[in-house]
Structure 1
Amino acid sequence: MHGRLREALTEAPRAVEALRMMLEAPIGDPTETRRGCLLANSTCELGNADPDVLAHARSSYETSTALIADCVVRAVREGDLPSGTDPVALARALLAAQQGLVFMGRTGMDTVALTATARSLAAQLLPGRGD
């Protein structure tokens, strides 16, 4: 999971575009959107009852956050995000937004609505240059 995320975030020509694509990634594969994320599902089902599941989930989400934060730093360096951006706070917001889209997809929301929601989130969390 982290290898694919790292690759997606580092190979895009511009970091801000990689972050936008990350938000829409679960929408591209309707079967993934409908099933949800194994980590999120396991955490919801077992996190309160199994400390090992909770510890693994926390570690995994922190790794994802660090990868996304690195991409945010790159977007700031490229001039696509304001210099005062807190990389970790924005990374957590983006991860929460993406996981929310996965959850909404599990409810049966159609891909047109999910895509519109992802783009709205991107517009709010990742404003274009000069915004």
Structure 2
Amino acid sequence: MARPRAFDEAQVLDAVRDQFWTAGYAATSLEDLMRVSGLGKGSLYAAFGDKRELFLRALRSYTATSQGHLRRMLDGSPRAIDALRLLLEAPLGEGISPDVRRGCLLANSTCELGGADPEVLAHAHETYETSTALIAECVARAQDDGDLPVQTEPISLARALLGAQQGIVFMSRTGIDPAALADTARSLADRLLPDPSA
């Protein structure tokens, strides 16, 4: 009879994800993965496969969690327009968090591996399309509320908002002053989310 695994798979994936997120794929060694997971090579690879498979599982876990956060954020405001503004401002929160300083794991991984790994590129494309659709639904609700012009095309605006949000996250990695980034987020919100009564 096989012995049950004596480790928490979700905790291991979280630790591995953070290692890849901080160092990148190429700079993460097997020794790094063993250190952060607390597992030996045999246990690690028996449970998760090789380094690439482990990375893909960690990346998929990250994107599933991120899209869950996005859904809750977009659905969590009484007015859809407030949720759309929060999309641009949320990465800053009360300041620049360590996670924001690391950027977006999906974007980082696509930049590093997208040209050489079709599976990473396909996953990034699918994830961004799903995020765009979620944001577009929120845009349509804001239109129904009378808070955005009805002639605005929801998918086009959703892509612009997602691109702006990802740009803010990327800029935060360079050490730009948080107050300047917050001002940038407000400026983008004012331009991308015009008040139809103004």
TM-score, structure 1 as length reference: 0.97
Give the corresponding residue for 2:23.
Answer: none
Identity of aligned residues (%): 64
Question: Structure 2: how far apart are the matches of 1:6 and 1:112?
Answer: 27
Give the corresponding residue for 1:27.
Answer: 92
Question: Which of 58, 64, 78 does residue 13 from structure 1 map onto?
Answer: 78
Q: Does 1:2 align with 2:71?
A: no
Task: Please give the residue correspondences for 1:36-115 in structure 2 after superposition, counting only pairs within 5 Å.
Answer: 36-115=103-182
CA RMSD of aligned residues (A): 0.9
Q: Give, as a single letter, the amino acid of the residue that structure 2 aligns with 1:37.
A: C
* Partner deviation per Cα, 1:30-77 (whole Å, 9 max, x = no partner): 212211000000011111110000000000000100000000000000
Structure of greater relative contact order (alpha carbons < 8 Å, 6+ residues apart): 1
4+ residue runs over 3 A deviation: none
* Greater shift in the superposed pair: 74-83 or 120-129: 120-129
Number of positions where the alignment pairs a residue of Structure 1 with one of Structure 2: 131
Contact 1:73 1:87 in 2 (8 A): yes
Shift of 1:11: 1.6
Give the corresponding residue for 1:126.
Answer: 193
Question: Structure 2: how far apart are the matches of 1:100 and 1:109?
Answer: 12
Shift of 1:3: 1.1
Question: Structure 2: how far apart are the matches of 1:34 and 1:110?
Answer: 12
Q: Give, as a single letter, the amino acid of the residue that structure 2 aligns with 1:3.
A: G
Question: Structure 2: how far apart are the matches of 1:13 and 1:69?
Answer: 17
Shift of 1:4: 1.0
Question: Structure 2: how far apart are the matches of 1:32 and 1:101?
Answer: 13
Contact 1:26 1:32 in 2 (8 A): no
* Partner deviation per Cα, 1:63-115 (whole Å, 9 max, x = no partner): 10000000000000000000111000000000000000001000001110110
Bigger share in helix: 1
Unaligned runs of 5+ in 1: none
Contact 1:20 1:122 in 2 (8 A): yes
Q: Give, as a single letter, the amino acid of the residue that structure 1 aligns with 2:164.
A: A
